Chains A and B, each alone.
Chain A
Amino acid sequence: MTGALVAYRWELRKLVAQKRTYIGLGAAALLPVVFVTVMALQKGGPYDAPLGHNLRRTGLALALVVLNFVSRFGAQLAAALVAGDIVASEHTGKTLKMILTRSLRRGQILTGKTLASFTYVVATILVLGAAGLIAGSAAWGFNPLTNLSGVRVSALHTLWLSVVALGVFALPLIAVAAFAIFLSTWTRNSAAAIVGTLVYALSMEAIAGLVHHPWAQRYLLSDQFDGWHGLFMSPIDWSLIARAAWVSAIFAAVPLALAYGIFKSRDVADD
């Protein structure tokens, strides 16, 4: 495990040194600010979105409402930008042969890359949450929130639930990142991996929208982005959260297993 941690630490340092890392993080920080600015410049708003009825009443609602919007496309794009590049860039930059001739095993190196990608996903969501809390509270105050069941929840309890909600939201996004890592490993092409991941995520959305069957509604990855809604019901619907966890785990495990198989056995030649 030491080798994987070494790889993980250096992957994080590499991410910090790259501009592309800040595209997703910057967007995550800016989005709530843009959202609240637009709200300030007009009278209406997305009040019909889950928890949208709390907008203008409490700043705690801002990050949660923004989560609903980014779950359709933006979050996947941010995840794909880094995870889709993390293996492919080693191939196109021809650095893979440098690191594969050192003392770490291939599996340890890919584990480091996987953990770094997941860390980036979590960091992006945390930045979005923090920016939403600051911008929302500045604009609308730190007030109690009315949950999806119509029950009023104190501000502090809402803050705690919001942190957990961000964590639950991260689960399907990690699964998307896992798919991006697989494509990055398989195609060895960053652009193909990023675009392919977006097509994959949008396909899930499309299937969920087109197929009117409970199976498609519940067990596709796209539906798990709403798993955190269970936290804002009275009583809390843990089944939604549990389903988000295990469905996301399956959607992450399969592409990661494929990526490991490819990465461990593939010839490293310039082609």
Chain B
Amino acid sequence: MLSDRPVEARGLVKRYGAITAVDKVDLTVEPGDVYGFLGPNGAGKTTTLRILLGLIRPDDGEARLFGRDPQHELPEALEGVAGFVETPYFYPYLSGRKNLQLLAAFDLDGGSARIDQLLQLVDLTARADDRVGGYSQGMRQRLGVASSLVRNPRLLLLDEPTNGLDPGGMRDMRTLVSRLSGEGITVLLSSHLLAEVEELCNRVAIVRTGRIVYEGMLADLRASAGTSRYRLRTTDAQVAGLTLLEHSAARDVSLDGDELTFSAGEDEVAAISRALVAAGLGITALVPEQQSLESFFFELTEGEPAEAAA
């Protein structure tokens, strides 16, 4: 039984012929989350968002937005929900303002009174009456955000919102997302940029070839990225190596020149260091080897297929 959380999906599957674009995806987005849906291009992020927005039907599984099924309860399931998949597209022969008016009308005039305010928010007031055909990519992205906010949403689904933007545009977009989150809007944001997710999100799902390989708090992911691997330098590397091999807590011991590396729990390292001293060795360095979040991300998305974690 799915709840009335902003987003809840269980076992979503979408196949295109022999290709499984989305493979048993589970997602849970809590109120107030800025949820990062992170993965390389082609991992199935956009397809998942399309399912959530009711644009395509899954072959299996179910999804709920605030407890409503976007497959069977449209347009009611999208009440309070807005967003775009891939680049937002508009009618190029209409002005930015007219496009927003059209979309507000398609929302049964929910937000037509806010259009000027939204154009100001996304810094498009000066070009509001120009045809969208003449807009830059960044301006279209910003208009896309404005078009979503016309609905006064409680949940924003944004697919690669900084895609195609220059560094300044990316900064502005991220600032805007942070601001909207600060105003209480729950955000589900797909991205292939780890730095973007790190900057904006509190929770994250990492997707690889259609499967979730990690889902949880970003803080937990950072902790996971930390490692139990240590680098050791002593006055005698050979003796130190033998000592480590004899010590049951030290695992995966390897020697590289004067330096040893090994895996052990944080509590076990103290015992190992005492054993080394007891063996008559002087310790010149015992340093935890910190794996970066980025390399952990690459490991999850590019290494051998992994089971879902956390």
Interface positions of A (Cβ within 8 A of B): 2-3, 6-7, 9-10, 13-14, 17-18, 93-95, 97-106, 267-270
In the complex, chain B residues whose CB is within 8 Å of the CB of A103: 75, 78-79, 106-108, 110
Q: Are A95 and B107 in contact (CB under 8 A)?
A: no
| Residue B85 is within 8 A (CB to CB) of chain A in the complex | yes
Q: Are B89 and A104 in contact (CB under 8 A)?
A: no
Which residues of B in the span 120-163 have a Cβ within 8 Å of any Cβ on A?
Answer: 147, 151
Chain A's nearest CB lies how many Å from the CB of B68? 13
In the complex, chain B residues whose CB is within 8 Å of the CB of A94: 86-87, 89
| Residue B82 is within 8 A (CB to CB) of chain A in the complex | yes
Which residues of B in the span 35-75 have a Cβ within 8 Å of any Cβ on A?
Answer: 47, 50, 53-57, 74-75
Which residues of B in the span 208-266 have a Cβ within 8 Å of any Cβ on A?
Answer: none
Q: Identify B102's interface contact among A10, A18, A101, CB under 8 A.
A: A10
> Majority SS of interface residues in chain B?
loop
Q: A95-B89, A268-B50 are in contact. Are A102 and B55 (CB under 8 A)?
A: no
12 contacting pairs across A/B (C-beta < 8 A): A3-B108, A13-B98, A17-B94, A94-B86, A98-B90, A98-B147, A103-B75, A103-B78, A103-B79, A103-B108, A105-B74, A269-B55
Q: Identify B54's interface contact among A2, A13, A101, CB under 8 A.
A: A101
Q: A97-B55, A101-B53, A101-B54 are in contact. Are A270 and B75 (CB under 8 A)?
A: no
Q: Are B82 and A101 in contact (CB under 8 A)?
A: yes
In the complex, chain B residues whose CB is within 8 Å of the CB of A2: 108
In the complex, chain B residues whose CB is within 8 Å of the CB of A17: 91, 93-94, 98
In the complex, chain B residues whose CB is within 8 Å of the CB of A267: 50, 55-57
Chain B's nearest CB lies how many Å from the CB of A67? 31
Question: A-B pairs with the 3 shortest C-beta distances?
Answer: A102-B106, A267-B56, A94-B89
In the complex, chain A residues whose CB is within 8 Å of the CB of B87: 94
Q: A105-B75, A269-B50, A269-B55 are in contact. Are A95 and B108 (CB under 8 A)?
A: no
Query: Within the assembled complex, what's the spacing in Å between the Cα atoms of A45 and B110?
Result: 59
CB closest residue in chain B, given A10: B102
Q: Are A10 and B88 in contact (CB under 8 A)?
A: no
In the complex, chain A residues whose CB is within 8 Å of the CB of B53: 97, 101
Query: Within the assembled complex, what's the spacing in Å between the Cα atoms of A101 and B53?
Result: 6
Q: Are A101 and B78 in contact (CB under 8 A)?
A: yes
| Residue B96 is within 8 A (CB to CB) of chain A in the complex | no
Q: Identify A95's interface contact among B82, B86, B91, CB under 8 A.
A: B91
Chain A's nearest CB lies how many Å from the CB of B199? 26
Chain A's nearest CB lies how many Å from the CB of B103? 6
In the complex, chain A residues whose CB is within 8 Å of the CB of B6: none
Of listed A18, A94, A103, A106, residue having the most chain B CB within 10 A: A103
Q: Are A100 and B90 in contact (CB under 8 A)?
A: no
| Residue B282 is within 8 A (CB to CB) of chain A in the complex | no
CB closest residue in chain A, given B79: A103
Q: Are B75 and A102 in contact (CB under 8 A)?
A: yes
Query: Within the assembled complex, what's the spacing in Å between the Cα atoms of A253 and B88?
Result: 34
| Residue B279 is within 8 A (CB to CB) of chain A in the complex | no
Q: A10-B105, A95-B89, A268-B50 are in contact. Are A100 and B55 (CB under 8 A)?
A: yes
